[in-house]
Structures are given as C-alpha cells and as structure tokens.
A = this chain, B = another copy of it.
Amino acid sequence: MSVEQFSVRGRLADTGEGITGDELQLAARNHGMPMEALRYDVTPAGLHYVLVHYDIPMTNASHWRLTVDGCVEQPLSFGLTELRAMGRRTVRVTLECAGNGRAALQPRPISQPWLTEAVGTAEWTGVLLSDLLRAAGIRSDAVDVVFTGADHGVERGIEQDYQRGLTLTEAIDSGAIIAWEMNGQPLPPQHGYPLRLVVPGWYGMASVKWLRSIELIDHAFEGFQNAVAYRLRTGQDDAGAPVTRIEPRALLIPPGFPDFMSRHRFVAAGTITLEGRAWSGWGPIERVEISTDAGVTWQTVKLDAPGNDEYAWRAFTHDWEATPGEHVLTVRAYDASGREQPIEAPWNRGGFANNSAQRTSVLVT
C-alpha cells in the first residue's frame, strides 16, 4: 500500500449524492461562524471560522524561531521576544475561507463542505511584514516571498509543509502582518500559535499559520497551494487563475428563532430590524441591497459609518415590515472597485470564491 492510495485527486459529487464521510470528517474538525455571531464587531476567538489542512501542530513559543532568508542582504532569525521588539500594530481584518459557499454548488466539489459560515473578523496584533523584509534588506533579484508553516501533511499524493507564496509587491502593499495576538490574547492553537501571517483583503489560504519561515526567491513560486490547489478552474486540466482577494459578500443575521434540525426561522409579524455585515477584499463596501421577496424587488439598506480598518466588515440594518407567511430574505454587496455580488456566482471545480447571495427562509407568524 502507498500514500497515493489514501490521497487522491478531488472529485465532484454525483447528482443527488449526499455529503460524504470524508466531507463530514472535515466539517466535524473545522468550523464556521454561526450566523448569529455576525452580531459581534469582533468575532470571539472560538466563533471565528477555522480551516486547518492537516493537524494543528504542537508548538512551543519559548523555542519558536522565525527565519527571513533567501534574496536578502542579511538573513535574520527571530524568537518571539525579538520579534515583538520590531514593532507592534493592531489591525481589524475580516478573513473568509476561499471555499466558503462550496457545499451549495451544483455539482458540488468534494472538499471542506462550507455553506456560508466560513468567515470571522478579528483584531490581529503583530509587526508589519514589510518592516521585517526591509530589516533583512530586499535584494534586487527578489521576485516572490514564500511563507512556510509548521503544519505537515499529504494532499493529492504530495507530502508537504503548508506553504504559500505572494509576489514581493503583494507582500509589501497588502499591509500583511506577522501576528502573535488575536483579539488581545496570544493566538489560540488553531489560529496559528505562536505566530501567523495575516494578509488583509485576501482569502484565508494566504494567511499562513504556525509561521516559521519567510523566504525571498528569485523566481515565481510554484508550490502546491499556489500552483495546484487554489486555482479557479472550470475543467480538470485548466491551469486556472489564482485565488487571491475576497469577493464582495453580505450576510444577514437570521431573524427570530430557529428549528433545531431544519434551521428554518420563525418570527412574529411586525417591524423587524434586520442586521448584517458586508465586506470585500477589493475595496470598501459602497452599497448593500436587500430583498424580502426572494429577489423580485430590492431596496438599499442603511450602512453604519465605516470603521478605520479597510478590510474589516461593515455593519448594516434594514427595517422590515414582516407580514404573515413564508419569506425569503436575500442580501447583496457592492464595493468601490465596481464589483457586485451575484445572485449566483459562476461555478468552478474547486468551489472557490463562491459569493452567491445567502438565502434565509423565514416563516412570519
């Protein structure tokens, strides 16, 4: 028997095929943010979505080293204390998994089966990546920056440490930070303790957890997670475009109360103030529209004042005159880059960046 036998290429679910045992194993380990947690400006750590490709590694902060090397004037190596001396800033960032919405696609790509809940907003404290790179001295032959985590596993037959690359321009211009705190506490184990990268505006796969190495290289990075895994492919053999920044999305806090099993919502008739959040990695949110009749008519919601953080979600409210009967609530976001959230996003084979509009069914009694 061989590793390849237990580590196969992804497939699409057959028509009508239920969630598989493999998908369930991932859904039981990883977790989303329950929609009612949209009520918090900053998501409490245990409610923020988590996706871990392999195992959460056993790490030791007192011995932890982060190296910065490759195409630099002076390779550097930092312990936690040395790193803290390099600077300290806190930034509020909305992170979303690139696979959010995957389980609703037809056909369904078999992988972590997210519905709409793979999101969260945290305050990350650390040092600017660009400050570290400048401290090491960026050589003129540097092209890409490769970030390596301590998490180790196999994916489609390839044994690997989790590793992602950014171009040098992306690494510097994104405002990425090397963080050691989440919401004012040391990082929880599942969020990268003791050290992680946070790339504001990008889907979560870019924000390498358990970060131990930053290497500048003189060519384009062709590692698995950049060149193979996170690509927008329509066919099995497409090269596909890379998954990068977060597409605009709005989500509503489901009103009223739920049924345990169906999660259907119930609410008494009257004026109901609906609340939600919207975000985009491409630019500030400029408008959110809501439909309370399953997309037939749309109204513009009231956006809260924007915060200071460009890549944190923005809250909105909308007063709804709820009349008895069954209603489907839908919201969609528009950002300053001109992107608009589609009712139904185009399909792709990995199930990435699916920002199709959320639908919340409510029985008004």
Binding site for B on A (CB under 8 A): 1-3, 6-8, 10, 17-32, 34, 36-37, 39-40, 44-48, 50, 52-56, 58, 103, 110-111, 113-115, 117, 152-155, 159, 188-191, 254, 257-264, 266, 325-326, 363, 365
Contact = CB atoms under 8 A, between A and B. Distances in A.
A134 to B, nearest CB: 34
Given A23-B19, A46-B188, A190-B47, A8 B260 contact: no
Nearest to A111: B261
B257 A55 contact: yes
Given A1-B325, A37-B189, A153 B260 contact: yes
Given A3-B365, A46-B46, A54-B257, A115 B28 contact: yes
24 contacts: A1-B363, A2-B363, A3-B259, A3-B266, A6-B266, A7-B259, A7-B264, A19-B23, A22-B261, A28-B31, A28-B103, A28-B114, A29-B117, A34-B190, A45-B45, A45-B46, A45-B188, A46-B191, A47-B189, A55-B257, A110-B261, A111-B261, A153-B257, A153-B260
Given A46-B46, A153-B259, 9 more contacts: A10-B261, A17-B18, A28-B113, A34-B52, A36-B58, A54-B258, A153-B258, A154-B259, A155-B261
A154 to B, nearest CB: 5
A22 B189 contact: no
A93 B363 CA distance: 40
Contacts of A6: 259, 262, 264, 266, 363
Contacts of A44: 188-190
A297 B87 CA distance: 57
B113 A24 contact: yes
Nearest to A1: B326
Contacts of A24: 19, 27, 103, 113, 115
Contact of A56 (B3, B29, B37): B37
Q: Which 10 residue pairs of A and B lie closest in terms of their CB atoms, listed nearest first?
A: A18-B18, A31-B31, A46-B46, A19-B19, A6-B264, A7-B259, A27-B27, A155-B260, A36-B55, A154-B259
